[in-house]
Amino acid sequence: MGFFFEVLIGGLLSGVLYALVALGFVLIYKASGVFNFAQGAMVFFAALTFVGFQEVLPGWTGLEPGSIAVFWMAFVLALASMVVLGILTEKVVLRPLVNQPHITLFMATIGLTFLVEGIAQAIWGNHVRGLDLGIADEPIEWVLDSADIIVSKFDVFAATLAGILVASLALFFQYTKVGRALRAVADDHQAALSIGIPLQHIWAIVWAVAGFVALVAGLIWGARSGVQFALTFTALKALPVLILGGFTSVPGAIVGGLIIGASEKLAEVYIGPFVGGGIEGWFPYMLALLFLLVRPEGLFGEKHIDRV
């Protein structure tokens, strides 16, 4: 039974990471109706930029490599790059495409994916880098002693960070003026425009916030498995999370992420051996697909009513 829980907890915690990526998708989809395929690339870009700055900053400023100051400066610079990237995306890619069909916007974000991946690697190079957040990836001793289950400190840290992020986003949406404007835009573009909410500012803000979420996700992912191109494929796993949770729901992204993470690990361990293993790669998609057959709008998605 201990093994089962270990797999379950490991899965749930990797689900947290999927949820973080999915969260970025949901924010943008809610506010602007754009299905941002480039979110995975943004996560990669953010992580690479952070690591890149961490490498070059000591040389520029004479600070000691690996010090707290370098960490925070790299964080701030990476965050600034993400904000700039988000605003540029809104201005250069999306604004000219306003009123185009959704499918066109979606394809534009696929183009953006390639562009962002190419730029990130052109600036910072192609090699795999390690990322150290200063949290050791080792089991928590008292849990190991009392329940005989291995729970990594790092995973708990990641989950806590994700929890704080989601909570602060929820507070931001609920209680700030900008947050309220964001929700208004998400509800109805035209109504929001008519009461004087500047739509394009809001979109720029949403892209910047999504960039921030991407940075957090990128840091955690990168610390876990190294900053490398494969990050963009892992980020694709956020897509089944989205369809499971519904495109428009923040809680859906979280719950969907947990379900996908846990079920893929459990399936790999308990079903995998019967069919030759490696089913982690497609199981989430199949699960999401089967789920959609029952509930086409996802767990928490808004029910879609067709009108002619």
Partner 1 sequence: MLYREAGQFKASYQEDQQIFPIRQDRIGMAVILAFFFLAVPMLASQYWLQAILIPVLIFSLAAIGLNILTGYAGQLSLGSAAFMAVGAFGAYNFILRIDGMPFLVGVLLGGLSAAAVGVAFGLPSLRIKGFYLAVATLAAQFFIVWALVKFPWFSNNSSSGVITAQQIEILGFAFNTPESKYLLTLAIVTVLAFVAKNLVRSTTGRSWMAVRDMDVAAEVIGIRPMRAKLSAFAVSSFYCGVAGALYAYTYLGTVEPEGFSLDLSFRILFMIIIGGVGSIMGSFLGAAFIVLLPIFLNVGMHAVFGSAMPAGMASNLELIIFGGLIIFFLIVEPHGLARLWQLAKDKLRLWPFPH
Please pick, from the candidates 134, 141, 142, 307, the single residue that binds partner 1 as defined by CB under 8 A: 307
Question: Do 216 and 20 meet the contact criterion of CB atoms below 8 Å apart?
Answer: yes
139 has which bridge partners? 152
Q: Which two tokens stand for residue 26?
A: 């949901």
62-70, 111-119, 164-172, 210-218 -> range binding partner 1 (CB under 8 A): 111-119
Closest CB to partner 1 among residues 45, 157: 45
Minimum distance of partner 1 from residue 20's CB (angstroms) = 18
Closest CB to partner 1 among residues 72, 229: 229
Site pattern 21..60 for partner 1 (x: CB under 8 A): --------------x-------------------------
Site pattern 241..260 for partner 1 (x: CB under 8 A): -xx---x-------------
Residue 126 found at the interface with partner 1 (CB under 8 A): yes
Half-sphere exposure of 168 (CA within 13 A, CB side): 9
Give the span between the Cα atoms of 152 and 171, in whole angstroms: 29
Please pick, from the candidates 8, 107, 169, 184, the single residue that binds partner 1 as defined by CB under 8 A: 107
Site pattern 257..286 for partner 1 (x: CB under 8 A): ------------------xxxxx-xx--xx
Q: Which of residues 87-106 bind partner 1 (CB under 8 A)?
A: 92-93, 96-97, 100, 102-104, 106
Minimum distance of partner 1 from residue 103's CB (angstroms) = 6
Q: Which residue has the tokens 């192609």?
A: 126
Give the span between the Cα atoms of 132 and 290, in whole angstroms: 38
DSSP character for 304? P
Give the span between the Cα atoms of 256 and 249, in whole angstroms: 10
DSSP character for 240? H
Q: Which two tokens stand for residue 186?
A: 């998400």
Closest CB to partner 1 among residues 303, 307: 307
Closest CB to partner 1 among residues 71, 285: 285
- Give whole-number Cα distances, 129 to 52, 55, 184, 296, in Å: 9, 10, 41, 40
- Give whole-number Cα distances, 269 to 2, 51, 156, 240, in Å: 14, 33, 22, 20
71 has which bridge partners? none
Number of residues located near partner 1, criterion CB under 8 A = 50
Site residues (vs partner 1, CB under 8 A):
35, 92-93, 96-97, 100, 102-104, 106-108, 110-119, 121-122, 125-126, 236, 239-240, 242-243, 247, 275-279, 281-282, 285-286, 288-289, 292-293, 296, 298, 306-308
